[in-house]
Amino acid sequence: MFELIRANRRRSVLLVAGFVAFLALVGAAIGALTGYGLWGTLIALVLSGAIAFASYWKADAIALAVSRAKPADPEQYQRLHNLVEGLCIASGLPKPRIYVVDDPAPNAFATGRNPRHAAIAVTSGLLEKLNRVELEGVLAHELSHIRNYDILVSTLAVTLVGAVAILTDTAIRLMWWNGGRVPREGDRDNGNNPLALIGFALLILAPIIAKAMQATISRQRETLADVSACQMTRYPPGLISALEKLRDDTTVTHSASTATAHLWIEQPMSGVGDRGKLGGIHRMFDTHPPLDERIALLREL
C-alpha cells in the first residue's frame, strides 16, 4: 500500500509536468500561427508555470466554488462531522473541511493540495440515500484520496484542463479576426507552411488530448482509494453497498462539470453506460472505472 502511495506521488509529478509541457506546446503552436514564434512559446511557458503555481494554492477553492459547495454546519450535519472525525482519528489524518452540495444525485469528492489543506464535499442526495455504514465507506474513500495524495494532481487538473481550453479558444479567435486571415508583412503564407498546418491541427485536438489526460489521472486512483477505504473501515460490505446504490441511481450530478468530473467518487456526467453508437467514444473519456468492476474487486477482498 505504501509503495502504491509513493508511486502515486511520482506519477502525480510526471502528470503535472506533462500538463505544463503540453501547455507550452500549445503556446508554440499559437506562436507559429499568429506570427509570434519564440515569443509565443516563452509566453506560454510563463503562463503555464503561473497557472500551475496558482492552481497549487487555489484550485481547491475553485473546485468547491464551481461545484457550489457550502460549508457543512456542525449542528445541522452532526452525523457527517462525527463520521469524518472518527475516520480521521482511526487513520491519523487531520480533519478536512467539510462541505455539502445541494444536489439530489448521490456523489462526493475530495480536493486540496495536501492532507493539512484538504476538503471533502458530499451532495445532499448522498446524505439522504445512504445509511450510516454506507456513508462511512464513501467518506473513507474520499479520505483515502487525501491520504494517498491523489487530491493534488486531481485538483490541479481542473485548472490545467481549463487553461488548455482557454488558450486554444483564444488562439482560434485571434486567427479568425487577424492572425490566420491576414499574414504579417514579410511573413510567408501560413496556409502553405506545414508547421502552421500541424499547429492548427494541434489547436483543434488540444482540448480532446487534455480531456484524455484528465481521464488517465483518475481511473487507477479510484481503484486504489476503494481498497484503501476498506482498509480504513475494516468493513468492505459498507462501501460495496454504497457503490451498488450509486450504480443503480441514474440521477445526473448537476453540480458537476467536465472540468471537475474526475474528482467525484462516481462518474457524474451523462453518457455513462452508453451502449449505443457513441458508447465507445464515451468510454474513452470516462474518468472512472465501471462501478461493476470496482464492486467485483472489493468482493474479492
| Catalytic machinery residues | 142
- Alpha carbon distance 72, 97 (integer Å): 9
CA distance 212 to 222: 16
Who's near 35: CB < 8 A, 6+ residues apart? Answer: 179, 183, 184, 187
- What is the grid cell recorded at 137? 465507506
Helices 150-177 and 132-147: crossing angle, nearest 10°? 70
In sequence order, what are the beta bridge partners of 69?
A: 101
Nearest to 72 by CA among 120, 112, 14, 24: 120
DSSP letter string, 13-36 = HHHHHHHHHHHHHHHHHHHHHHT-
